[in-house]
Amino acid sequence: MLQGAALKTHLQKLSDKYGFIAVGVAAARKLTEEEDRLKSWLGKGYHGTMQYMENHFEKRLDPTLLVPGAKSVICFLNNYYPERRQNPDAPKVAKYAWGEDYHRVIKDKLYDLVAELQTESGPIEGRIFVDSAPVMERQWAAIAGLGWTGKNSLLLRKGVGSYFFIATIICDLELDPDLPVNSHCGTCTACIDACPTQAIVQDGVIDASKCISYLTIERKSDIPEAFQPNMEGYIFGCDICQDVCPWNQFSTTHNEPRFEAGTWINWDNRAWQNISEFVFDEQFGKSAITRAGFSKIRKNMEFVLPQNK
């Protein structure tokens, strides 16, 4: 059985084999340095109506409460930057939701990776997380040396950008941790300046209740009229703060067939306006867009494109 550096080298090879763009390791421990920041963010109501963010506070900070006996947090990055573009005469959908739901796609890959890893490491006790539990993925990925927290709060990686998903395996493998990297944002404020709803309230801090992604996905009640002039055509999610980031000039096309968009990518505004629930389910049944649902998407279109009411 492999151990130490040899096991970590094997992990890197498996990461490459399964199409991840990077893997890093952090020692499992309580994120004491994040405790006050999380309390402050919640206390200011920046989570909006996402009440679930208030739940499992201690588990968010301490992965050993999610996986007793955990020694390592293994973090993976999975590129989702698309080659194609939406029809410019259409409501906008954030790029991460163009293909099949990333939760399912990445979990499938990680289950296979773990099965193969165990043939060299022996039995592994742990859990796979893909944005599906109280795990602070971005913070762990930064600690694991995969990038730094940008001013838009997203993880940025030098020479790559930010168009990637983060997944974690919290487990009992004892692996040498990687070292964090320095921030390379410098004096750039492109993301802050570009945010049309001014949701980036300070470096690395987002008032989610103002964020277009929150408004078009998480907010269940009607979007306040004050936001109507600032939606920039988005009906699901938002890419503005990523599109303007200089580091995303290095983005390269993903190699995951399951992230390819369906024929809807060519729809124009009229096609979107005429969409039925049946067609919606047919086109987006496996997509993350189902998180919002047909009725919410219809309402978002009416709000974003009021002339079509």
Question: Is 111 in contact with 152 (CB distance < 8 Å)?
Answer: no
CB neighbours of residue 142 within 10 Å: 22
Taking Cα atoms as reference points, which of 32, 29, 54, 34 lies closest to residue 42?
54
- 3-state SS assignment for residue 28: coil
Q: How far apart, in whole angstroms, are the C-alpha atoms of residue 103 and residue 80?
A: 12
Place of tokens 């296979």: 112
What are phi and psi for residue 254, nearest 5 degrees? -65, 165
Point out the catalytic residue in the list 62, 108, 131, 243.
Answer: 131
Query: Residue 39: is it exposed, middle or buried by C-beta count within 10 angstroms (0-12/13-18/19+)?
Result: exposed
Residues 190-225, buried b or exposed e (16+ Cβ, 10 A)? bbbebbbbebbeeebbbbbbbbbbbbbbbbeeebee
Active site residue 131: yes
Active site residues: 131
